[in-house]
Amino acid sequence: MKRIILSLFMISTGLLFSQNNDQIENKKGIKILPLKGEFAIGIDASPFLRYIGDIFGSGSSNYALNGNKFLADYFGSNTIYGKYMLTDKNAIRANMRITTLNGTENFKVLDNSNITAGSDSLLTDKRITSIDAFSIGLGYEFRRGKSRIRGIYGGDIFFQTSKQQVDYSYGNGYSATNITPTSMFDSGGNTLTGFGAPVFERRKYDKGGRTYGVGLRAFVGIEYYIAPKICFGTEFGYGFAYTNITEGSRATEFYNSNLVNDNGTIGGVDERKVIFGKSSNFSTNTDNFNGALYLMFYF
- Please report the DSSP string for the chain in residue order: -HHHHHHHHHHHHTTGGG--B---B-TTS-B-S--TT-EEEEEE-HHHHHHHHHHHTTT----TT----SSHHHH-SS-EEEEEESSSSEEEEEEEEEEEEEEEEEEEEE-GGGGGGGGGSEEEEEEEEEEEEEEEEEEEEEEEBSSSEEEEEEEEEEEEEEEEEEEEE-SSPPBTTBSS-EESB-TT-PBPSTT-EE-SEEEEEEEPPPEEEEEEEEEEEEEEEEETTEEEEEEEEEEEEEEEE--EEEEEEEEEEEEEPTTS-EEEEEEEEEEEPPEEEEEEEEE-TT---EEEEE-
209: Cβ contacts below 8 Å, ≥ 6 apart: 163, 245, 246, 247, 248, 276, 278, 279
CA 220 to CA 210: how far, in whole Å? 32
Residue 45 pLDDT > 70: no
List the single range of 52-56, 237-241, 285-289 with lowest mean pLDDT: 52-56
Mean pLDDT of 69-82: 55
Residue 297 pLDDT > 80: yes
Residue 163 pLDDT > 70: yes
CA 251 to CA 206: how far, in whole Å? 7
Q: Are 71 and 95 a contacting pair, CB within 8 Å?
A: yes
What is the residue-averaged pLDDT of the chain? 83
CA 274 to CA 183: how far, in whole Å? 21
Q: Are 153 and 10 a contacting pair, CB within 8 Å?
A: no
Q: Are 228 and 31 a contacting pair, CB within 8 Å?
A: yes
Percentage of residues of the chain with pLDDT beyond 90: 58
The pTM is what?
Answer: 0.73
CA 85 to CA 96: how far, in whole Å? 18
pLDDT at 74: 44
pLDDT at 131: 94
CA 276 to CA 273: how far, in whole Å? 10
pLDDT at 202: 98
Map out the domains of the chain as residue ranges: 2-298
Q: Label residue 293 by pLDDT band (50, 70, 90).
A: confident
pLDDT at 58: 47
